[in-house]
A and B are shown apart, each in its own frame.
Chain A
Amino acid sequence: MTAHQRKNFWRIGEPGVWLAAAALGLTVAMILLFAGIISVNAMRHLLAPKLALITVRDGGTFLGVAQKNELAPEGGRRTQYKVANRELNNRADFRWLDDAAVAAITYPLAAALVERDGGGDFYGFLTGAEIAGETRNFAADFAGAVELWQTTLARVNPPIDRAQQKLAYLSETLRAGQLRQLRLQYAAHNARGRETAQKELDLLDAENAAIKQASVAELARLQALQAAADREIFIFQTAERQTVRLPIRAIARLTFPNALSFAGRQKYMAARAWTILSAMPREANTEGGVLPNILGTVILIFLMAISAFPFGVIAGIYLREYARDGALTRLIRIAVNNLAGIPSIVYGIFGLSFFIYGIGGTLDQILYPERVAAGITTFGTGGILWASLTLGLLTLPVVIVATEEALGAVPAEIRQGSLALGATRWQTLWRATLPMASPGILTGFILAIARAAGEVAPLMLTGVVKSAPAMPLDSIFPFAHLERKFMHLGFHIYDVGFQSPNVEAAKPLVYVTALLLLLLVFTLNVVAIKLRNYMRKKYAAHAL
C-alpha cells in the first residue's frame, strides 16, 4: 500500500463502508438465526416422532422418543427419552439413560402413539378392543385400528357434544337469570315499584328453578352418555407388559408413527398443525391447540386498531395542519414523543387505574348497582375491551407522529395549488393532502400495530388470563362480550413456558406459539409494505 493509497483509504471512508456492511450482515444473521431457531424447534412439535423400543442391559424394556443426547456428568454420553405413560412412571414424562446401558434399540411398527385428552401421551402396543360389547383383536392392522377409532368416535361423540352444548347454554341462561334476579331483588328493596318487582321476581324464580331442573336432567343424561361411551375401549400393552384400557373417547389421536408412509407423515404433520390452529388448549395449556389465543389476539388487535387509528390521525392532522406553532403546540409535541417512549407496563398501570377502576367501576355503579352490592364486577375488572384500549393508547403516539410526518412530507405546492383554486383548508386536506399522506400514515400505523400486537406486559394488568372460560365472541346474545377476560399468544408463551407444571413437555408448544406470533407480525409488516407500494403508485408524490 503506497502512501497515496493509505491516504485515500481514510479519505474514501473504506473502514466506514466495511463497518456498515458488517453491521448489516450481523443484523441479517441475527434475523435468520432467530427465525431459524424458532422454526426448527416448532417443527419438532409437528413432526411424527420415531418411537423406539429400548432394551436395557440389566433387563427391562421401554418405549421412548429420543429428545437429546449429551455428555453425562459421570462420563460417557446419555440420552433423554420421552417415555410418556405418566400414570405408570411416577408422573414423569422423561427418562435419562446412559448410552452404555442400552442393549438394543428397535423401532417396532406396532408401537402406538396415543395422544390423550388427559394425562399426557401414552406409548404402547394395541392388542384389542371392546366395541359395542364385542371383543376384537388386532394383530397388525394399523389402518383398521385407526379407522375403528375414528368411526367409534364419530358415533359416540356427537350426542355428547350436543348435550355439553345444551348444558353450557342452560348454565349461561341460568347465570343471566340469576343476574336479573339480583337486579329485581335490588329494585324490590327500593320503595318505588316494589310490588311489580316482587311479581316479576316470583316469575323469575319459577323460571330459574325450571332451568335448574333442566340442567340437572341434562347433566344426568350427559353422564349416562359418557358412561356408555366409556365402555368403548381400546386395550393396550406397554413395553413393560402392563395392560392398559383406554376409553376411545379419551384418545385425542391414535398414530402408529413407525409404520407411517411418507405421505402419512405429511398428513400427520398437517393434522398436528391444524389441531394447534383449531383446538382448545388441554392439560393446563401444555397440549392441544391455541385457538382461543389466536382469536383473543386477533380481536385485541382489531379493537386496538379501530380505537387508535381515528384518534391518532385526527390528532396528527390537527397538530400539523391547524394548530398554531406556539409554546403549547411544542409542549404537546414533546409530550407525544415522550408518550411513545414510556414502558408498556406503565400503560398497563394506567389502563388498570383509569379504564378498569375508573371508567369500568363507574359503568358498573351506573349500569349494575345490584351486582356491585353483591360483589360481582362486570366492567370493573380486566377485559378485552380495556386491554385493547390500553394498547390503543400505546400505539396512539406512534400514529400521531406518523401522521404528522406524512402530512409534513406533502409538498407545499400541492397545498398552495389547491388553495389557489378556491379550496378551503378542509377541502385541501381532504382532497389533496390526505390522499398523498395516506401511504405514510398507513405504514406507520400498521408498524405500530405490529409492535403492539406482541405486547404482553400491559395485558397482564388489564385482563389476559391463562385460561378463559369463554371466548369474547360466541353464539350467545349479544355475541361480542367485550367485558370478558381473554387469552393471548404472547401471554401463552410466558404461561406455558414458565408457569406450567410440566415445562419440559410444554417446550415445543412454546416454540409453536412463538412462531405463530412471529408469523402474525411478519404478515402485518408484509401487508404494510404492500400497501405502501400500492398507495405510492397511486399517489406518487416523488414522481413530480
Chain B
Amino acid sequence: MPNLETCAPLVVARDFNFFYGAKPALHQLALDIPRGKVTAFIGPSGCGKSTFLRCLNRMNDLIDGTKMTGSLRLDGKEINDPEIDVIDLRRQVGMVFQKPNPFPKSIFENVVYGLRIAGHRNRTFLTDACEQSLKRAALWDEVKDRLHDSAFGLSGGQHQRLCIARAIAVAPEIVLMDEPCSALDPRSTNKIEDLINELAGQYTIVIVTHNMQQAARVSDLTAFFYEGKLVEVGETETLFTAPRCKETEDYLTGRFG
C-alpha cells in the first residue's frame, strides 16, 4: 500500500485499551488513521467501533467509570493526557451522530454554534463561515433563502447535512461520523455519501457504518473490529476483495454479525 504509507498518520493508537468500569471494551488496539483520507470502521454491533470513535474526542468522559490506558495520539498529542483541554480537543475533532441532532435554533445559529461558543462575535465572519460550511455540506442552495428559519423545518437528510455543516464550521482536523446514514432514506444516504466523497480531500474522515456497500463506496481504508479487537485494517478494495483473516471474510460474506 504505497500511497498510504507516504501520508503521515493523523491518529496513532498503540496498546490502547478502554474499559467500561471493569469490563474491557477495546483491547490492545494498534491503528494509524491517515491524514486526508476516509477511514471506515466496520464490525458487528457491540464490537467497540463506536466506542473507539468516541475515544477520539473523549465523549466517553460523559459516562461514569470509563477508563483508557495505552497511547492514543492526535497529531502527536496524547488524547488520554489528563492535562489536555478537552474543549480544545473537541474543537479539533468534529462529530456527526447517528441521529441528526440540530439545536432548537435557526439554521444560521446551528451552523455558527461552534464558532459562537468559541467566542466569535463578528457578524461578517459568522455569515461567511456559515455560507462556506453550508456550501461544503451541499446544503446552501436548499436553505440560503431561509437561514433564519428554525432548523426543525428541514427534512431528515437535510438535518444530517446541517449537522455536518455545523461540525466543519469550526474547521476541525478530523470529522467523526457515527453511522450518519442509519436514520436516513436511500436518497438522503446517497447525498451524504456524495458529500463524504467531496469532503474527502479536505478533511480526515472516520466513519462507522453497518452498511458494507457504504464502506466500500466512500472509504479509502477500512478497519474491521470484532469483540473489542482490531482484526484487520487495510485499503478498502484489498480488504473487501481479499481479506487476510477468516473473521473478516465471514463477516463480509454475512456468515455472522
Q: What residues make up the interface of A, taking CB atoms closer than 8 Å to B? A: 324, 411, 413-414, 416-424, 427, 431-432, 435-436, 538-541, 543-544
Of the stretches B28-36, B111-119, B185-193, the one at the interface is B111-119
- Complex formed: what's the CA distance from A309 to B118 in Å? 30
Contacts of A411 in B (CB 8 A): 99, 101
Known: A421-B166, A431-B113. A416 touches B101 (CB 8 A): yes
Q: Roughly how many angstroms separate A28 CA and B103 CA in the complex, as a whole number? A: 39
Chain B residues at the A interface, C-beta cutoff of 8 Å: 57, 59, 62, 64, 87-88, 90-91, 93-95, 97, 99-105, 113-114, 116-118, 150, 152, 159, 163, 166-167, 170
13 further A-B pairs in the complex, CB-CB below 8 A; given A414-B101, A427-B117, A435-B104: A324-B64, A417-B95, A419-B59, A419-B90, A420-B57, A421-B90, A421-B117, A421-B166, A422-B90, A422-B114, A422-B170, A431-B113, A544-B100
**Closest chain B CB from A147 CB (angstroms):** 61
Chain B hits for A417, CB < 8 A: 95, 97, 101, 103, 163, 166
- A431 CA to B103 CA, complexed, in Å: 9
Q: List 11 A-B contacts (CB under 8 A).
A: A413-B99, A419-B90, A420-B90, A420-B94, A421-B114, A421-B166, A421-B167, A423-B113, A423-B114, A424-B117, A427-B117
Q: Is the CB of B104 within 8 A of A540?
A: yes
In the complex, the chain B residue whose C-beta lies closest to that of A427 is B117
Given A432-B104, A435-B104; A418-B113 close (CB under 8 Å):
yes
Do residues A419 and B152 form an inter-chain contact, with CB atoms below 8 A?
Answer: no
Q: Is the CB–CB distance between A422 and B104 below 8 Å?
A: no
Contact B104 A541 (CB under 8 A): yes
The chain A residue with its CB closest to the CB of B100 is A544
Give the residue name and chain of the A residue nearest to B92 (CB): A422
Candidate in B100, B101, B104 with the most chain A CB atoms within 10 angstroms: B104
Q: Which 7 A-B pairs have the closest CB atoms?
A: A539-B104, A413-B101, A422-B91, A421-B114, A420-B95, A543-B152, A417-B101
In the complex, the answer to whether B152 meets A416 with C-beta atoms within 8 Å is no
Which A residues are CB-close (under 8 A) to B105? 435
- Which residue on A lies nearest to B57, using beta carbons? A420
CA distance A544 to B100 in the complex (A): 8
- CA–CA, A413 to B152, complex, Å? 15
Cα separation A324 to B64 with both chains bound (whole Å): 10
A421/B101 in contact, CB under 8 A: no
A415 to chain B, nearest CB (A): 8
Between A414, A419, A432, A435, the greatest number of chain B beta carbons within 10 A of the residue's beta carbon is seen for A419
Chain A residues within 8 Å of B100, by CB: 544
CA distance A5 to B93 in the complex (A): 63
Q: Which residue of A lies closest to B118 (CB)?
A: A422
Nearest Cβ on chain A to B2's Cβ, whole angstroms: 35
Give the residue of A416, A427, A436 whose beta carbon is less than 8 angstroms from that of B104: A436
Whether B59 lies near A540 (C-beta < 8 A) is no
Instruction: From known contacts A538-B150, A539-B104, A544-B101, infer whether A420 and B59 are also in contact, taking CB-CB under 8 Å.
Output: yes
